[in-house]
Amino acid sequence: MHKEDMPLIFEISSPGRIGYSLPEMDIEEIDLAELLPEGYLREEEAELPEVSELDIMRHYTALSKRNHGVDSGFYPLGSCTMKYNPKINENVARFNGFAHIHPLQDESSVQGALELMYDLQQHLIEITGMDEVTLQPAAGAHGEWTGLMMIRAFHEANGDTRRTKVIVPDSAHGTNPASATVAGFDTITVKSNEHGLVDLDDLRRVVGLDTAALMLTNPNTLGLFEENIVEMAEIVHGAGGKLYYDGANLNAVLSKARPGDMGFDVVHLNLHKTFTGPHGGGGPGSGPVGVKSDLIPFLPKPIVTKRGESYLFDYDRPQSIGRVKPFYGNFGINVRAYTYIRSMGPDGLKAVTENAVLNANYMMRRLAEYYDLPFDKHCKHEFVLSGKRQKKLGVRTLDIAKRLLDFGYHPPTIYFPLNVEECIMVEPTETESKETLDEFIDAMIQIAKEAEENPEIVQEAPHTTVIGRVDEATAARKPILRFQKV
């Protein structure tokens, strides 16, 4: 171990120390050999840590200090919508009646939970302009796959088995083509034009009788609204395909444009993005899916319905694609999203988008002088810059990102979307103040100057973090994926 290394929990373990307090054993115990067949009683114990409760708290507190969250500082990670995670959400999700209820309890004993789910569905139906919503998918990618499976079932139910292709733009999230594959489709890429929007001629070229669906994020990953959405919908629907809306960027259009009105047939939402379920260090998320009426029969089962004053699960759905997840989705995240929506109300949600878009455009205009702006028009909730001017000076986008760490920021998304060279994708969100934006802009301007005057300081960044750049090549070539006692 290097002297500055943070020890692993296993390295501070000491035999005989404990950190637990199990309920009393108030019954007579029987020899396990009598209760288990021979060979099934574990002989070698699992080598888990042996530490005291304070050891645990200090260990994880130290780890938390080596981690940057939204509460630590600005986190303009494009397409991830790293907005403030309201604290009331955390309290509500921990109510006994939400956190500590079993999914298989009798419906009569969970009416409050069902009411919340039902009401959340109704809110999401209105927000998306769709006809029905399932809360079952666990995350965005899971929602994508669920939606595509429904589209497949729809075509198959119509005897239309030729539709084996899903079209995705070259600027799409990687999950789009991956979800298409898992749903049994082949992927075709449609090109973007010089304005960063889907090329309509190319779209006309690739659609056909084999088109199952077009997957689209709107605004797209460049932060640009697909202005030709009406024509695109006509082209795809005209060919008999369905339109899929990737809701990753919904924060840009709340109360401004609804996927259902734009012509989309299926939409997934990322409740952990737009609706503040925290990102949790990578999850859990929640990815509800909304559909138009002709796809309702194919929704995963069960869905929550209301009969009179009672709420219940509807399992009687013969055309359903089946279950995509055990039970009813990530209820705990859905509780947080519901709490958020109810905290904001209709005027609040409208202000969310307006402020998010204002923040993004303000940053974009101020930074355009120092970094290349590939698409010079109003952006929505995020925008992309290109670091190609800096690259000519020997400073890559990766270096710029690492240098931002020295200023206490989480950098923007980099090298995505793939169709912009040395891409820097910035999403400030509406919960950041003008002061925060100005400070970040100043840091970006300073880095642009450093690239010209003192590139080493950028190339060798970060200088202030607990570790420097990690050797990722070795990590992949000789993987060490677990601790081994020496």
List CB contacts of 203: < 8 A, sequence separation 6 or more: 167, 190, 214, 232, 235, 236
Q: Is 213 in the site for other proteins (CB under 8 A)?
A: no
Q: Strand 242-247 relative to strand 266-269: parallel, antiparallel, unpaired?
A: parallel
Give yes or no for a contact between 426 and 382, defined as CB atoms under 8 angstroms apart. Answer: yes
- What is the Cα 307 distance to its own chain's centre? 34
Find out whether 322 and 152 touch, Cβ atoms under 8 Å: no
Q: According to the binding rule CB under 8 A, does residue 392 interact with other proteins?
A: no
Asked if 33 interacts with other proteins (CB under 8 A), we say no
Mark residues 444-473: x for contact with other proteins by CB under 8 A, - for none: ------------------x--xxxxxxxx-
Q: At what angle do helices 434-453 and 397-406 cross, to 10 degrees?
A: 120
Which of the ranges 288-296, 319-327, 386-394, 447-455 carries the binding residues for other proteins, by CB under 8 A? Answer: 319-327
One of 223, 285, 288, 374 touching other proteins (CB under 8 A): 285
Using rule CB under 8 A, residue 300 touches other proteins:
yes
User: 296, 344, 443, 445: which one contacts other proteins (CB under 8 A)?
Assistant: 344
Among 157, 160, 164, 181, binds other proteins (CB under 8 A): 181
Choose which of 191, 325, 389, 391 interacts with other proteins (CB under 8 A).
Answer: 325
Footprint of other proteins on residues 52-81 (CB under 8 A)? 53, 56-57, 59-72, 75, 77, 80
Cα(370)–Cα(397) distance, rounded to whole angstroms?
13
* CA 429/CA 444 separation, integer angstroms: 18
Per-residue tokens: 420: 């912009």
Contact 231, 248 (CB under 8 A): no
Binding to other proteins by residue 126, rule CB under 8 A?
A: yes
Binding of residue 345 to other proteins (CB under 8 A): yes
Q: Please tell me whether residue 158 binds other proteins under the rule CB under 8 A.
A: no
Residue range at the interface with other proteins (CB under 8 A); choices 199-207, 253-261, 385-393, 450-458? 253-261
Helices 140-157, 175-182: crossing angle, 10 deg rounding: 40
User: Within 83-122, which residues bind other proteins (CB under 8 A)?
Assistant: 83-86, 88, 90-106, 108-113, 115-116, 119
435 vs 420: CA distance, rounded Å: 29
Count the site residues for other proteins by CB under 8 A. 207
In the complex, the smallest distance separating the C-beta of residue 207 from other proteins, rounded to whole angstroms, is 18
Calpha distance 210→463 (Å, rounded): 53
For other proteins, which residue of 222, 349, 420, 424 counts as binding (CB under 8 A)?
A: 349
